[in-house]
Amino acid sequence: MPLFFLVPLFAGLVTGYFSKKCTDEIAYFTGLFTIISLILSLILAPWQIQLVLLVLLIVGSNRLLQE
């Protein structure tokens, strides 16, 4: 399983950390880059990881709807 989808994920997590530390306008740009890189890493992820995330999403949403 190729792990190249971890590159945008790691970059997104690092920029997300820096956006929490900044209070200027650059924080908005780093937040936008974080969201884009996280979506890109989900698109590039292997189908097995996407399937696990989908199952977790369905189970989590069912628990929230029951409450």
pTM of the prediction? 0.66
Q: What mean pLDDT value characterizes the chain?
A: 84
Q: What is the mean pLDDT of residues 12-30?
A: 80
Q: For position 55, what pLDDT does the model report?
A: 94
Torsion sign across C-alpha atoms 14, 16, 18, 24? positive
The residue ranges of every structural domain in the chain are: 6-66
Long-range contacts (CB closer than 8 Å, 24 or more residues apart) made by 34-38: 36/12, 37/8, 37/9, 37/11, 37/12, 38/8, 38/9, 38/12
Mean pLDDT (whole number) for 20-36? 80
